[in-house]
Every structure is written in structure tokens, then in C-alpha cells.
């Protein structure tokens, strides 16, 4: 399993339409104070939709 360099900066990106977490990325919390919104491809909707930042919980 790969190591995560900065686990405290890790965030998930959730699709606004289907509400599934499709992507994971890092964010510098000191420089970027707002929540990230990106247009990404959703494999379940098969379209480009807005993906918003969500907190990752330890439970699976």
C-alpha cells in the first residue's frame, strides 16, 4: 500500500449529482481557506459535473 505524505491535508471530492466520492486530492489549508469546487468527470453519471470538497472520516 502506498504511503500518504500529508494525511492531514487529504480531502475527498464528492459529485454534486450522485453524491459519491470519486476523487481524492491534497489541499494546503494555510493558503486555501475556502472549500474547493472543481469540474471533474463522474464515471457513474458519465458527464462532467461539479465536485465539492468533503472531509474524509476514519470509518469505512
CATH number at residue 39: 2.20.28.120
pLDDT at residue number 31? 92
Residue 59 domain flag = no
Cα gap 52→16, rounded to integer Å:
7
Is 43 domain-assigned? yes
Instruction: Classify residue 2: in a domain, yes or no.
Output: no
Distance CA 13, CA 51 (A): 5
Q: What is the pLDDT of residues 9-27, one digit of tens each?
A: 889 999 999 999 999 998 8
Domains contained in the chain, number: 1
In-domain check, residue 47: yes
Q: Note the pLDDT of residue 59.
A: 57
Q: What average pLDDT does the segment 29-36 reach?
A: 91
- Threshold 0.85, pTM exceeds: no
Looking at residue 56, what is its pLDDT?
Answer: 85
Amino acid at each position: 500500500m502506498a504511503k500518504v505524505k500529508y494525511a492531514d491535508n487529504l480531502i475527498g471530492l464528492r459529485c454534486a449529482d450522485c453524491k459519491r466520492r470519486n476523487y481524492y486530492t491534497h489541499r494546503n489549508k494555510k493558503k486555501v481557506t475556502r472549500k474547493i469546487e472543481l469540474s471533474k468527470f463522474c464515471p457513474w453519471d458519465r458527464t462532467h459535473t461539479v465536485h465539492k470538497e468533503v472531509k474524509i472520516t476514519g470509518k469505512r
